[in-house]
Amino acid sequence: MTEVEQPIQLRPAVQYEATNKSPGALILYGDRLVHVESRITNWCAGLGAGLVAVLSFALTHAGPGALGGAIGAGGGMAIGIAITKRQAPKKAAAGGDGVTVIPLDAVTSVEERKARGMGGWRLHVSTSATGYTFRVKPGQWPADLASALARRGRSVQATASALVVTSQPGSPNVAS
């Protein structure tokens, strides 16, 4: 059995790509940031709302109403998040389809910003080659990313809108 490394942080997140969104979990390790795609949370939310509707019709011969649907979906989502958090480190260790790995040595900047409208918060991680955008809860990632990057020998400077990451002279861990 493969040894699973303990993450620094593991939270639900949605990765935004050019044409689609990939729900799952974002995991911060000491040397990399990993997004593991998982639709379990969405399925569990739907099943929770469906279960409440079925029970409501069976017991009262009436629909559950908006509150009942919200309670069922919320309960299902909580169960789905717990399942996703449990499975994500194992999937990250195995790699393959649905796993995006961002080496911390390649990160050049980290920006957390509010999306337009009701889109929530976005965490944008840039490397010299590409950028990655995730929908996350605000305030959870920049500090942990900054400390993980500093442990890798990177110089991290906070600006008004982002973390700028540069290599420190003579650091062996920094990819050019």
- Decide if pLDDT at 165 tops 90: no
- Decide if pLDDT at 26 tops 90: yes
- Decide if pLDDT at 28 tops 90: yes
Looking at the chain, the number of H-run helices and the number of E-run strands are 3, 9
In a domain, 76, yes or no: no
Average pLDDT over residues 28-54: 89
In a domain, 163, yes or no: yes
* 89, 99, 95, 75 alpha-carbon torsion, rounded to 10°: 30
- Write down the mean pLDDT value for the chain: 84
Average pLDDT over residues 151-155: 88
pLDDT of amino acid 4: 66
In the chain, the number of structural domains is 1
Q: Kindly state the helix (H) or strand (E) to which residue 143 belongs, with its residue range.
A: helix 142-151
Give the separation between CA 9 and CA 33, rounded to whole angstroms. 10
Domain carrying residue 150: 9-36+104-167
Residues 36 and 88 sit within 8 Å (Cβ to Cβ): yes
**CA 36 to mean position of chain CA atoms:** 8
Using 50, 70 and 90 to split pLDDT, how confident is the model at 2?
Answer: low
If you compute the radius of gyration of the chain from its CA atoms, what whole number of angstroms results? Answer: 19
In a domain, 89, yes or no: no
In a domain, 118, yes or no: yes
pLDDT of amino acid 173: 46
In a domain, 74, yes or no: no
Query: CA of 166: how far to CAs of 76, 147, 152, in Å?
Result: 42, 14, 11
Find the CATH number of the domain harbouring 124.
2.30.29
DSSP notation for 18-53: SS-EEEEEEEE-SSEEEEEE--HHHHHHHHHHHHHH
Q: Lowest mean pLDDT: which of 48-62, 63-77, 117-131, 160-174?
A: 160-174
**CA 169 to mean position of chain CA atoms:** 32
Digit-coded pLDDT (tens) for 64-113 = 778 888 888 889 989 998 998 898 999 888 888 889 999 999 999 898 88
In a domain, 43, yes or no: no
Q: Which residues pair with 22 in a beta bridge?
A: 15
In a domain, 157, yes or no: yes
In a domain, 130, yes or no: yes
Amino acid at 158: A
Digit-coded pLDDT (tens) for 106-144 = 999 898 888 777 778 888 999 888 899 999 888 778 888
% of the chain surpassing 70 pLDDT: 93
pLDDT of amino acid 168: 56
pTM given for the model: 0.80
